[in-house]
Amino acid sequence: MCNPSIAILGAGAIGQLIYHQLVKAELAPYFITRGKTSGQEVLTLTHLNGQVTQSTAELHCIASSDTYKSECLLLSNTRLLIVCVKSYQVLDAIKSAISQLPKSCHILLLHNGLGPHLEVEPLLQGRGLSLGTTSQGAFRQDTWRLKQTGTGITQIGHLSGPLMPSALKLSLLRAIPDSEWCTPILPYLWQKLAINAAINPLTAIENCPNGALAAPKYKQEIDDIVTELVDVAMATGIELDKLALTNRVYSVIELTSANFSSMHQDVTNKRRTEIDSINGYILARAKEYGLTTKVNLSLVKRIKSIEASYLN
C-alpha cells in the first residue's frame, strides 16, 4: 500500500504527468478513480529525451462497494487532493470525494480556465483551497502510456481557507519542475486565461495549429479578446498590463507554433470543450459588472455551435 498522504483525482495527461513527477520525488501518490474496481496499473512515461520510466500506481475507486471501508480509510488519511480533471468535471469530482476526506485535507485545483473554484468553495466546509496552472505538455499514447511533449512553468497559490502545510508545499515545489508559489494566485490565472482565451477557440474554429494565429488577419480579434479580458479583470479588482499580456499571447503562439491547442483537439475528437471556463468565464464575470464582451461572446457562440453539431 502506498503512502496515502497525496491523492490525484483525474488520470488524464496532466494528472499522470504530475503523478510521475511526484513518484520521482518519492512522494508515492495514488489515484482516485470513479471506475468499478480498485487495483494497480503500470504507468509508462516517455520523457523529452526519449528515456522511458515505469511505475506501478495504486488506483482506488470510491464507488466500489466491496472495498468501500478500506477506501474510506485511505481517503481519511489524505492530506492533499490534487484535482486534474477537465474544468467541467471538477464540481462532480469534488462532490464524489469530499465527504470521505478529512477536514485537514487541502484541495489543489489544477485545470484549464477559471470558474470551478467558485462552485467548489462552498462545499469544502473549512478545508483549504489552492489553485494552479501548468504549461507542461504531455499526451496519452494509450490509457496508461504518456509522452511528455514540453516543459513549462507550473504556478500554484493559496485561494481560501487554511494554508497548505509548509511541508506539502515544499514537497510539491521540489517535485514539479519549474514550479513556483505565487501570491496572490488569481492574477497569474487571469494571465493564463488570456492565453487560453485567445489561442484555444480561434485554433478550434480555424482548424489550425497555434502558429497560424501569428498571421495579420487574426491581430484585431486577438487584441479585442485581450482588451475585453483586461477590462473584466479590472472590474474584479485585478489589474493587468494589456500590452505585456498581448505580447505574452504572441510569445506563446510563437513558442508553441507547431502545437494544436487542447480545444482544437477536443473539437477534432468530437469531445466537449472547456469553453465555459475560458471565454465563458470572461462572459460570466462581465455580466456581473454590466460589461460588454462582444468578441468573447462571439467565440463562445461559435464553439457552442461546433459542439452542437456532434454532441447533440
**Which residues form the catalytic set?**
192
- The b/e string for 213-248 (b: 16+ C-beta within 10 A; e otherwise) is beeeebeebbebbbebbbbbbeeeebebebeebbeb
The Cα-based distances of 244 to 58, 75, 177 in angstroms read 43, 43, 25
Query: What DSSP designation does 50 have?
Result: S
> What φ, ψ does residue 46 adopt, rounded to 5°?
-95, 115
Helix or strand or coil: residue 127?
coil
CA 105, CA 161: separation in Å to the nearest integer? 11
CA 55, CA 30: separation in Å to the nearest integer? 11
